[in-house]
Amino acid sequence: MAVQQKLQPFDRSFFGVVLTICIAGLFIFISASLGILAHSESKFYSVLFSQLALGYTAGFIALVICLKIPYTFWRKHSLYIFLFGLVFTALVFIPHIGFSHGGARRWIAIGPVSFQPAEFLKIAFVIYFSSWLAWFEKKKKEGDSSQIVPFVVMIAVTGGLLLLQPDTKSLILIAGASSVMLFVSGIQMKKILWICGIAVFGFVTLLFFRPYTMNRVKTFLNPSADPRGASYQVQQSLIAIGSGGVFGRGLGQSIQKFNYLPEPQGDSIFAVYGEEFGFFGTVILVCLYVFFSIRGYSIALRAPDAFSRFMVVGLVTMLVAQSFLNIVSIVGLFPLTGVPLVFVSQGGTALLFALASVGIILQVSRYKRAA
């Protein structure tokens, strides 16, 4: 029987957990940013303004807008969105538009505002790949055994553009999310294994051409090897989390954020949080992200069609993977990736598009499958 779509209120539980993490994240961010204030008052207010204006304010506006746009719009324009994402990201290489920081060329400046276009590209990739998977699923039902060459081409083009910046972390997130989407699509396991094999080969090859990536892997394997160099961030993060004990020092009372943790408001913000709120606090935050993922995937299960199901799976996986990559790398269970903690870390562009993704997911939640 044909599937009908029935409009309903958006998933309030999903929105509630996002709002909870954002409110808690704002307090955590302000506390962590006090480490900047101790060294530069102007930088502190600049970072705070970017997070509040571009991140939270513009992010929630984007959430509301995406909540109003029918999800079918994204499928109809998926190719153009993806192509725009590629061109938008390529602008980082244009002189006087793109600029570099810390040895990477990942940002473009539009007036006084700077953007990291790869954040948009991640969403654009998920949208277009969802559209292709929905088409591929229909072909499978018709008996067409087409190969997954388009997927390889998409990854190759996107990966090449990101590695030139270089932006390895965004490529890892895109590859991870698309792999989960492929698994959900029911594609043959042998094809997934082939893709995984190619990915492993590519990662190993990358280690030999990206010395800093190799250093991070070595640091992961032996965190005490270079405590004043490559292992410094992990060492200081573990000290911060360990000194938080069971209940933490209290909000604003972190010591490590002032002189020891690099980027306490960014990559290391979970360490600051662990120091101030202790073991119980970190468990609560992890549980919030777990609930976010469970509720997000439940929306995917109720999605009205294949495209919306794949899109929600991809977006939820992207956000959850990014959050847990940040956490496990800070506690030394994974090589440092430099990804921000979603809804918490500094990064106006990342927060803006994360909230936009939430708006898309909530829009899909307004529909349910009805026989």
CA–CA gap between residue 219 and residue 201 (Å, rounded)? 21
pLDDT at 139 over 70: no
273-283 in b/e form (b: 16+ CB < 10 A) is: bbbbbbeebbe
Amino acid in the structure at residue 135: W
Average pLDDT over residues 110-116: 74
pLDDT at position 316 is: 97
Is 211 exposed, middle or buried, given 0-12, 13-18 or 19+ CB atoms closer than 10 A? exposed
pLDDT at position 99 is: 74
Q: Which residues contact 249 (CB under 8 A, 6 or more apart)?
A: 243, 255, 275, 276, 278
Lowest mean pLDDT among 36-45, 48-57, 120-129: 36-45
Q: Which pLDDT tens digit goes with each residue over 315-360?
A: 999 999 999 999 998 888 887 777 889 999 988 888 999 999 999 9
Q: Which pLDDT tens digit goes with each residue over 67-100?
A: 999 999 999 999 999 999 999 999 888 887 877 7
Look up the pTM and report it. Answer: 0.89
Q: Which pLDDT tens digit goes with each residue over 151-207?
A: 778 888 898 888 888 888 888 899 889 889 988 887 777 777 777 777 777 777 766
pLDDT at position 371 is: 41
Q: Which residues contact 9 (CB under 8 A, 6 or more apart)?
A: 366
* 300 touches 312 (CB < 8 A): yes
